[in-house]
Chains A and B, each alone.
Chain A
Amino acid sequence: EAQVTQNPRYLITVTGKKLTVTCSQNMNHEYMSWYRQDPGLGLRQIYYSMNVEVTDKGDVPEGYKVSRKEKRNFPLILESPSPNQTSLYFCASSYFSGGGNTGELFFGEGSRLTVL
């Protein structure tokens, strides 16, 4: 089954304790991206990756890091989490649009992070 898998789904942590949210897709997609969702602010892009070893900042990259060492994985790293990073996080992946592909984004189920 084609899917994007995020872990953990729920996490409560404390300020300053490094954490990683993993994202894995099994569709051989080139493009992967992370979003955060906060009440009243919609979905905001944190980082995206066009392919292995190619990453770039989205609209709200501060406080986050990413890596793309393998095509299927795109972990989101919070080196020193703060309470303002409490949010619902989504990972997404797709082929690029064009070339016969729809460019449809596939989203994970979300990871709800609370930083105390």
Chain B
Amino acid sequence: DAKTTQPTSMDCAEGRAANLPCNHSTISGNEYVYWYRQIHSQGPQYIIHGLKNNETNEMASLIITEDRKSSTLILPHATLRDTAVYYCIVRDYNFGNEKLTFGTGTRLTIIP
């Protein structure tokens, strides 16, 4: 069973902020939220992760709701190179079940 659900696809205008939602309503207290993206058929690339606080790095921001049941990845100024499939996963940091489920992700298309 998928532990996260994401919209199948989204469009965003170039230069605007892209907001990608993820639902993880069954997340446990030990689980981090991770985001990856896959450009064409390349290997997925790590973007960002968080536990309960909002996080920001040079690529993106991650907003996690207070109840931790959902999160939003924000690409602040989307470019054409951000067109990719974005995956949200949860991972137990107590070295627990490492059966990681990626699902089908969200296909983000940046429109010129």
A residues near B (Cβ < 8 Å) are 4, 31, 33, 35, 37, 40-45, 48, 50, 56, 58-59, 88, 90, 92, 96-98, 102-110, 112
Contact = CB atoms under 8 A, between A and B. Distances in A.
A110 B46 contact: no
B93 A48 contact: no
B49 A33 contact: no
Interface of B: 32, 34, 36, 41-46, 49, 87, 91-95, 98-105
B104 A41 contact: yes
Contacts of A45: 99-102
Question: Which of B45, B99, B100, B103 lies at the interface centre, i.e. has the most chain A CB atoms within 10 A of its CB?
Answer: B100
B99 A42 contact: no
B32 A48 contact: no
A42 B103 contact: yes
Given A40-B104, A42-B105, A50 B98 contact: yes
Nearest to B31: A97
Interface centre among B36, B41, B44 (most CB of A within 10 A): B44
Interface residues of A: mostly helix, strand, loop or mixed? Answer: strand
15 contacts: A31-B98, A35-B102, A37-B41, A42-B102, A43-B87, A56-B98, A59-B99, A97-B93, A98-B93, A98-B95, A105-B36, A105-B100, A107-B45, A110-B43, A112-B41
B43 A48 contact: no
Given A43-B44, A103-B49, A59 B101 contact: yes
Given A50-B98, A56-B99, A97-B91, A90 B44 contact: yes
Contact of B46 (A37, A88, A104): A104
Contacts of A40: 104
Given A40-B104, A102-B49, 19 more contacts: A41-B104, A43-B44, A43-B87, A43-B103, A45-B101, A48-B98, A56-B98, A56-B99, A58-B99, A59-B99, A88-B41, A92-B43, A96-B95, A97-B49, A103-B91, A104-B49, A105-B36, A109-B43, A110-B42
Given A33-B100, A42-B102, A103-B32, A110 B41 contact: yes
